[in-house]
Structure 1
Amino acid sequence: MSTKFRCLLVDDEPPALEILRTYIDTMPTLEVVGECHHALAAFEFLRQHPIDLLFLDIQMPRLLGTEFLKTLTNPPRVIFTTAHRDYAVEGFELGAVDYLLKPYSLERFLRAVHKVLDLEQRTAPPAPRKDPLHSEDDRFLYVRADRKMVKIMVDEIQYIESLKDYVKIVTTRQVITKQTTTALEEMLPEQDFVRIHRSFIVALKKIDSYSHHAVFMGKTELPVGPLYRQDIMKRLSKIGVSDATL
């Protein structure tokens, strides 16, 4: 498999394709290699191009997405994207990884994609594959801010703060994007970040010291929520961050 997941988008509605493209742009592990407006075109595309992940609408002209999937002898991973919930059972019976009901949010999209990534990790051969988001060097992600996609280097993130319908990402600058902390948390390498509060996610290596009630990064003090205290104390003690005032 290539470094990125090669995605084919199949949908007869241009607005639906545009939303998919926008969401996929937030995931460095995904790339769009083709778009088709009906299943027959997708069939021809798959004959000529290798695909890792298929985003497939169901109600399309000429052939339903579910019927199209039945014709494939060796289908790629499939995520159905449809406005019709009636096909959900059949979709999962056909081996779909997930079933996105339109209109779906970025957070819901990310959950579906991470199901695919988890499946690939469990079935991948022992030799590691380089992932731009989770590799040691040059890790990054894109978020929408100021009407454009802004590149954020993962290793520069100090912490993330929830601001109701928005999220503030603090590096050497501050970027505010309309997302949830949960959506961003799923995009970050778990071993490098920890949620310390309902409203805060912190980069472990940026923490200078901590107490039972707060973590400290230079002059910045962030609260530790009671529900997260046990986990954060355990993880910080393992990496040797000093106690402030316990």
Structure 2
Amino acid sequence: MKIKTLLVDDEPHALEVIENYLQNFSELEIVTKCSNAIQAFQVLQQTRVDLMFLDIKMPGLSGTDLMRSLKHPPKVIFTTAYHDYAVEGFDLNALDYLMKPIAFDRFLKAMDKVFATFSVANKQISIEEKPALSNKDVFLYLKVERKMVKVNVNDIYWMESLKDYIKVVLKDKVLISKQKISLLEELLPEEKFVRIHRSFIVSMDKVDSYHSYSVEIGGKELPIGRNYKAECHRRFKMVY
């Protein structure tokens, strides 16, 4: 039996990300997509829903308020761009709490919890066991000014921390997004990126050369921090 799944988010791009990720899991069936919590409430009154991917901060009725209004709520995975709602989300017995932009590796961990909860036989997955999406399908959404910008991770050369902001260098442009480099490090596919310095993360397949003290990438020399030398040596030795 399929796990009937409802997607709720007021951002079309966010819905697209989750929908694309779910295409890798035949065990789930998307019932419909809703752009606000009121629509979701109406769907839940008429349709069986087992699992809901639910944005928290939406105009009108919030995701957490929607959950409180339901007598028999489905299992829920909250999605949000705001850390402040984490405790509230888990107080409502959420299966998981995904921070936007949602990386596929992190999404897999949430799916492990889904399969365990619904006791899908032999479907517990891990990042190592589950085939990854092709490079062209792995992407993030970064908040740039007032827009959520879609970024293919295969196009990223490196990222640089600028205090509360991060500079993302692509082949043909540079994006500035307000978030911490440590958060982005958690969201990126671990097998494709390595942190070489407290201020720099680089795409391993874009590195042209490296030394014990620096890497050259896209015509730019970036320093390797003292605390990152051992890990960089291990990772680059595996590739080169």
- Distance in 1 (CA, whole Å) between partners of 2:111 and 2:8 is 17
Q: Does 1:24 align with 2:22?
A: no
- Relative to structure 1, is the Cα distance of residues 77 and 88 closer, same or farther in structure 2, using a 3 angstrom cutoff? closer
Give the deviation of 1:40 after TM superposition: 5.0
- Relative to structure 1, is the Cα distance of residues 237 and 28 closer, same or farther in structure 2, using a 3 angstrom cutoff? same
Give the deviation of 1:187 after TM superposition: 3.2
Give the deviation of 1:53 after TM superposition: 1.9
Q: Which has the greater radius of gyration?
A: 1
Give the deviation of 1:212 after TM superposition: 2.0
SS at match of 1:190: coil
- Relative to structure 1, is the Cα distance of residues 148 and 118 closer, same or farther in structure 2, using a 3 angstrom cutoff? same
When the two structures are aligned, how many residues end up with a matched partner? 207
CA contact (8 A) 1:79 1:112 kept: no
TM-score normalized by structure 1? 0.63
Residue type matched to 1:41 in 2? Q
**Matching residue of 1:71:** 72
- Relative to structure 1, is the Cα distance of residues 86 and 181 closer, same or farther in structure 2, using a 3 angstrom cutoff? closer
Query: Any residues of structure 2 matched to 1:83-98 within 5 Å, and which?
Result: 90-92=91-93, 96-98=94-96
**Matching residue of 1:159:** 158
Give the deviation of 1:43 after TM superposition: 2.5
CA contact (8 A) 1:80 1:91 kept: no
**Matching residue of 1:15:** none
Task: Could you tell me which runs of 5 or more consecutive residues in structure 1 were left unpaired when the two chains were aligned.
Answer: 10-17, 100-106, 241-246
SS at match of 1:71: coil
**Matching residue of 2:108:** 117
- Distance in 2 (CA, whole Å) between partners of 1:135 and 1:67 is 40
- Relative to structure 1, is the Cα distance of residues 114 and 8 closer, same or farther in structure 2, using a 3 angstrom cutoff? farther
Give the deviation of 1:218 after TM superposition: 5.1
Give the deviation of 1:176 after TM superposition: 1.6
- Relative to structure 1, is the Cα distance of residues 24 and 233 closer, same or farther in structure 2, using a 3 angstrom cutoff? same
Task: Could you tell me which runs of 5 or more consecutive residues in structure 2 were left unpaired when the two chains were aligned.
Answer: 21-31, 57-62
Give the deviation of 1:189 after TM superposition: 1.6
**Matching residue of 2:187:** 187
- Distance in 2 (CA, whole Å) between partners of 1:169 and 1:80 is 23
**Matching residue of 1:231:** 231
SS at match of 1:228: helix
CA distances 1:73-114 after superposition (whole Å, capped 9, x unpaired): xx333339899999677523xxx1346xxxxxxx95558997
- Distance in 1 (CA, whole Å) between partners of 2:40 and 2:156 is 42
SS at match of 2:17: coil
TM-score normalized by structure 2? 0.65
Residue type matched to 1:120 in 2? M
CA contact (8 A) 1:98 1:112 kept: no
